[in-house]
Structure formats: C-alpha cells, structure tokens
C-alpha cells in the first residue's frame, strides 16, 4: 500500500505488514469499533476499515502523523477519525472492540523518549518497553467486553513480559504468530549496544517479531 509519508513519520515496515496480515486472516475487524494507537501513516487504520470495521479511530502524538493519516484516509475514501494526543488520552472514556498497536519498541541508549525527532517512531527506552507497558495497561481500559487487542513488537523486548502485563490488566493473552526478519537499519546500528546488554546473541543480526492477541472476557 503506497501512502503519503512526510519526513518524521514511520514508514510501513515488516512489523506493520505482519500485523495487517494477522488482522485480515483472523477477520478481527469486521463489524468492530477499532482504535489504532500510534497510527503513523494510518496503515493499520486503513487496513481495518477495508476489512469491514464499523468505525475506525486513529491516534498519534505527532502532528505530522495525524496529518498524514488524515490525508491518506481521505485520498482513499476510507472513513477514519484521526485525533492527536498521547496514546489513549484523546479517547479516554471510550470503548472499542478492537485495539491495534505497533508502538516504538527498539531499546535505546537513554530512558528519555524523543518528542521531535524521527527516533520517536522507534525508541522505546532502555529496554524498549516504555510505550509497550503503557499500552498494556492503558489500552486494556478501553476494551469493551469481549474486545481484542492486537499488538506487535520485537522479541528483543521479551514477549513474556507483555503477556504477563496483559494478564495483570485482566486480559487473556497469547502469541498469535512469530516471524524472523533481518535487522533493519536502526537495529543494525544498535547491535553492539544490544549485545553488550545481553538482549541479543553475539553476531545476531535478525530478530523475531511477535504478534500478541489479548481478549477481555465477556
């Protein structure tokens, strides 16, 4: 899918594509009220709308991403509400049947998350889990009874922690799929740092992407 992507907005990559595939194959969006957290270009939001979602709301902290997602939805005639704000804050008090998230998850040199640089699209703090952990906690509050969250990230961030956090938030969580891909440019640049921290094996230059599904009981 070719989408408008201004400088500073995350491009559709293997993690986005993997989550879209699981979304389509599982039929998770059909007839559902969908929330896309950290929408970027709006790729996940558009995929959900095209998969038959009853409504789609997309949220991003970046003004450029909000503009990109809005333009991409309009150019393709796909109905989508786009809001700007920090993760779940713009939709506080709302409930959704399906929440999608491809958050920043790459371990960084510092715990401080960038706000105005392209690295905000992938930096996830020292262990890569700063935004991930917030989504597990804050996103679960927005799920309607029987609602589902689909979340993608690298196994470098330890998917067992994600499963534990989601369970702690009252959700039934499981790994839906795993896929090994070569390191992208950012992971290659940080490989030495990741090795030093014991997050990857010496010489490792690929990573396992994990899609996790978490459901709220009826």
190 falls within a domain = no
Q: Which domain holds residue 72?
A: 14-182+208-216
Element (H, E) at 82: strand 81-84
- Report the domain count for the chain: 1
Contact 112, 48 (CB under 8 A): no
Of 116, 186, 117, nearest in space to 156 by CA: 186
Can you give the CATH number for the domain in which 126 is found?
3.40.50.150
> Over 90: is that where the pLDDT of 8 sits?
no
Q: Could you identify the residue written with the tokens 């789609």?
A: 56
**pTM of the predicted structure, to 2 decimals:** 0.95
Long-range CB pairs of 72-80, under 8 A, 24+ apart, other chains included: 72/3, 72/4, 72/41, 72/42, 72/43, 72/46, 73/42, 73/45, 73/46, 73/49, 75/4, 76/46, 78/45, 78/46, 78/49, 78/50, 79/49, 79/55, 80/42, 80/45, 80/46, 80/49, 80/56
State the average pLDDT over residues 92-103. 97
201 in a structural domain: no
pLDDT in tens, 28-84: 999 999 999 999 999 999 999 999 999 999 999 999 999 999 999 999 999 899 999
163's tokens: 């499963």
2 found inside a domain: no
- Whole-number pLDDT of residue 217: 81
Residue 128: DSSP 8-state: S
**Residue 121 located in a structural domain:** yes
């Amino acid at each position: 899918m070719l989408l408008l992507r201004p400088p500073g907005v995350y491009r559709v990559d293997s993690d986005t594509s993997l989550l879209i595939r699981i979304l389509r194959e599982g039929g998770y969006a059909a007839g559902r009220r969908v929330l896309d957290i950290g929408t970027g270009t709006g790729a996940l939001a558009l995929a959900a709308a095209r998969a038959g979602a009853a409504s789609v709301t997309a949220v991003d902290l970046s003004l450029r991403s909000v503009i990109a997602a809005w333009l991409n939805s309009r150019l393709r005639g796909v109905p989508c509400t786009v809001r700007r704000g920090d993760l779940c804050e713009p939709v506080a008090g709302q409930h959704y049947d399906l929440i999608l998230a491809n958050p920043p998850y790459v371990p960084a040199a510092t715990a401080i998350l960038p706000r105005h640089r392209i690295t905000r699209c992938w930096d996830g703090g020292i262990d890569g889990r700063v935004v991930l952990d917030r989504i597990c906690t804050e996103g679960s509050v927005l799920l309607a009874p029987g609602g589902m969250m689909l979340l993608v990230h690298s196994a470098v961030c330890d998917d067992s922690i994600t499963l534990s956090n989601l369970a702690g938030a009252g959700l039934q969580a499981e790994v839906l799929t795993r896929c090994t891909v070569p390191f992208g440019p950012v992971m290659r640049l940080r490989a030495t740092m990741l090795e030093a921290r014991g997050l990857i094996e010496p010489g490792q230059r690929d990573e396992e992407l994990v899609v996790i599904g978490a459901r709220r009981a009826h």
